[in-house]
Structure 1
Amino acid sequence: MRYPKSPFVGNPGLEGEILKVNTAGLAPLLEWLCLTPRVTTYRVNTRRTCVEECKRTVVDKLAAIYGQKAPKVYALSRLTDVLCIDPLDDENIRPDPGLREVIVDTTCGAALLRGAHIYAPGVLAMESNTQVNEMVNVFADLSGKCKRGSTARYDSSQKIFVGQGRTLMQRYQLFNNSDKPATGVAVEMQSNVSGVPVLGDLSNSDILLQNLPSIVCVHVLAPQPGERVLDMCAAPGNKTSHIAEIMNDVGSVVALDSSASRVRNMRPRLCSYQSITTHVFDSTKAAAADLLPTPSTLSDPPFPRASFDRILLDAPCSGLGNRPQLSSNIKRPKILQSYPHVQRRLFAQAVELLRPDGILVYSTCTVTEAECECIVAWALKKFPELRLVDATPRWGGSGLSLPDLDVSKSRLLQRFGPGTFDGDGFETVGFFIAKFQKVA
């Protein structure tokens, strides 16, 4: 699909930051960021079930919705806990002029293009007299100017058609001004213009909707049963649970996050894992240089130096790898430039907490050079006890080479971005992975 205008155009500072990662020019990267990854991936909890069992369940679900047009569902030979769903054949879906319209925000619009339904908080406007079980055209408001609760048809050149759905709620339920905002699915999508199957989210204790690079990231960390592992920025906990599953829930997985609400939300999903403990804590202060390892100091943060065998630093970042990007309203250059400062502070703590011979994986869901390869180059110069090792299993492409990060080192990195494809030939979101070992 094509959008009326890239959300990044007209922001020279932002364009300059993004341009650093694409030597072929700015336009191809901006177009790539605005397009939807068309393959859907689920991670299978192999401690509870197997990929083949989950595949049968998903195949039956798709057959019930699409019949003979159901897309292909398949496993990956090199990642034995991943289930993939191909896109539908393009049907050239267009808005039906006879249908009423629903307007959603850009966050909701991006989710719809990846196969989601519309939840009540994402609805900005619904035309008057729209009834339950009525088919509607769904548009995303790129400008952010649609007034919430509008009853008239929203006339704007900066709205894009994303698909069609069937309403499950009426206006009075969505915009009632009560102390308890409406929740649940407001519009059940029937089709979208990206061709991604509309399944909502099939996640449960057996399978989890997750981007392929995020799954690869934990396989690169390769935690072993019995080890002590730290997830420094754990919320929403998807990688945390994956770590515990790979360890067969044997050992210790410590999950930190600075947000009390995010930790509170992820705890119910992690409570079935005996190896996981969660803490509300700022990981920029996680290392306590004056503490000696004792049973009590290893239970709560801050922790003594060299406390962990493996550390995952999935750092806070600009999120410019998330696709499709329908809005850049929080991607101002000054905000972009603030992330590397936090990333370096977290990284320094991780190095202190890592044991000799231990493994540190640094990852981001962005594509900017400053938050990816530049952090690696800085780390190798700042911490001589670290050496870069190959980020395998490899599904993305190599990293970018810099004046202080030669080609031999950049090939050890793993970057998912424009022109880099996974091992089966399909595109993913943008992502970056670097793997380090601390020299004994």
Structure 2
Amino acid sequence: MSSVGAVASRYGYRVDFVEYLARFFSLGYIEDLFRSLETPGSRYFFRVNTLKVRPEDLLEELREEGLKVYRHDRLPEAFYVPVEGPFEVRLLPGKVYVDKKTAESVYVGANVFAPGVTKVENAREGDLVSVIAPGGRVVAEGVLSMDPSRVFSERKGLAVRVVRSVYRAVSLRETRYFDEGLIYHQSLPSMVAVRLLDPQPGWTVLDMCAAPGGKTTHAAQLMGDHGEVIAVDRTKSKVDTIMEHARRLGLKSVKGLVYDSRYISEYLDKDSVDAVIIDPPCTALGVRPKLWYERGFDDVLKLSDYQRQFLREAAKVLRRGGRLLFTTCTISPYENEFNVIFAASYLGLKPLPLSFPPVKSGLLGTGSLQFVPHEHDTPGFFIALFEKR
């Protein structure tokens, strides 16, 4: 039987983090989770912008182009393409080292752009190179598309055109479907969460941690672009990105706000919004594929306290009877179920029963949902929905 230390060593996690998880889950469950997180899953999802195109019409058009595209049986706007692999990739003399976020995208076939490059070795423009993740894993082979000096001086543009990756999914980001705002790349659990919130036309919705804009734009779409969705982030570049997505999707109800939403009640009136979305910074244990992880139990404690700052402010600006959607991309009870208890005990927020078979409830029962990678073939994702009493 595996020990906590053996599991931590085998999968590259900190012992204190595995010890924390083992308080709530068996080691067998944890190992199944860690194994699944190393892969991207078998489906890559994107959302159809139903304000611009009917899902059935887009599905027919994509299939006529020879693409293997499928529609989720319960969410009409949720489409997916199969993920193929794993494939072998070589360690070549020329190497391009990239950051964690870039590596995890390249692992499933994305190209490398200059901002994600950390180092280039033994390569010039036009050379075939290996793309290396933090920790040394080779995630792809590709062609270096610009001279290394330009990569670091300009910090923009295509750096490596990937020709072979460990996994591969058809990307529609460089097609007219993306450019014309017919689709938005979004995970299935994220779409389910906004569906469960059920935002209505005419509502004022506050998205407190809105970047990169998936839930913001999905809410506006479900509202028929009638009402207002306030997308908040304290970084201007992130708000600019959200607003660019909104423009591409043809959404006029999205309003960007550069602000630290931990103090949003100083900007918005109390009891002034119909719904709040909180998807706060978290330990991101559910993000897949996961090639490198360095979080520890100290991060869990810091982040769970950080998340409660958003919950406190949300309770102030939410009207009585309004709804609060709380989500994370982690499988961490202190950040998930314990925050549900906090919100219910101290903030006057009543957890609402949720159901989305076959996804099971979180540890608390009917007041939450927990997507689990090795059970649902999705990212790990937690959903709770509250009503203000």
| TM-score (normalizing by structure 1) | 0.77
Q: Secondary structure at the match of 1:84?
A: strand
Q: Secondary structure at the match of 1:225?
A: coil
Q: How does 1:56-205 map to 2 (within 5 A)?
A: 56=60, 58-59=62-63, 63=66, 72-88=68-84, 90=85, 92-95=87-90, 100-128=94-122, 130-132=124-126, 134-142=127-135, 159-175=136-152, 178=153, 180-181=154-155, 183-197=156-170, 203-204=178-179, 205=181
Does 1:382 pair with 2:360? no
- Letter of the 1:274 partner, please give it: K
Deviations 1:417-438 (A, max 9, x none): 24431xxxxx111110011123
Identity percentage of aligned residues: 30
Gaps of 5+ in 2: 1-8
Distance 2:371 2:122 in 1: 44
Residue matched to 2:11:
6
Residue matched to 1:54:
58
Change over 3 Å in CA distance of 1:135–1:121 after alignment to 2: same
Change over 3 Å in CA distance of 1:254–1:199 after alignment to 2: closer
Residue matched to 1:41:
45
Does 1:214 pair with 2:209? no
Counterpart selection for 1:244 from 207, 217, 220 = 220
Distance 1:100 1:221 in 2: 49
Would you say the 8 A contact 2:284–2:329 is kept in 1? yes
Distance 2:12 2:355 in 1: 34
Does 1:303 pair with 2:276? no
Instruction: Say how many residue pairs are matched.
Output: 375
- Letter of the 1:309 partner, please give it: D
How well do the aligned residues superpose, as a CA RMSD in angstroms? 2.7
Q: Secondary structure at the match of 1:270?
A: helix
Does 1:22 pair with 2:18? no
- Letter of the 2:144 partner, please give it: T
Q: Secondary structure at the match of 1:398?
A: strand
Greater fraction of residues in helix:
2
Q: Secondary structure at the match of 2:361?
A: coil
- Rg bigger for which structure? 1
Distance 1:190 1:46 in 2: 33
Q: How does 1:368-407 map to 2 (within 5 A)?
A: 368-383=332-347, 385-394=348-357, 396-401=359-364
Counterpart selection for 2:209 from 233, 250, 269 = 233
Would you say the 8 A contact 1:14–1:332 is kept in 2? yes
Residue matched to 1:428:
378
Change over 3 Å in CA distance of 1:111–1:91 after alignment to 2: closer
Would you say the 8 A contact 2:97–2:131 is kept in 1? yes
Would you say the 8 A contact 1:116–1:201 is kept in 2? no
| TM-score (normalizing by structure 2) | 0.86
Residue matched to 1:413:
368
Residue matched to 2:3:
none
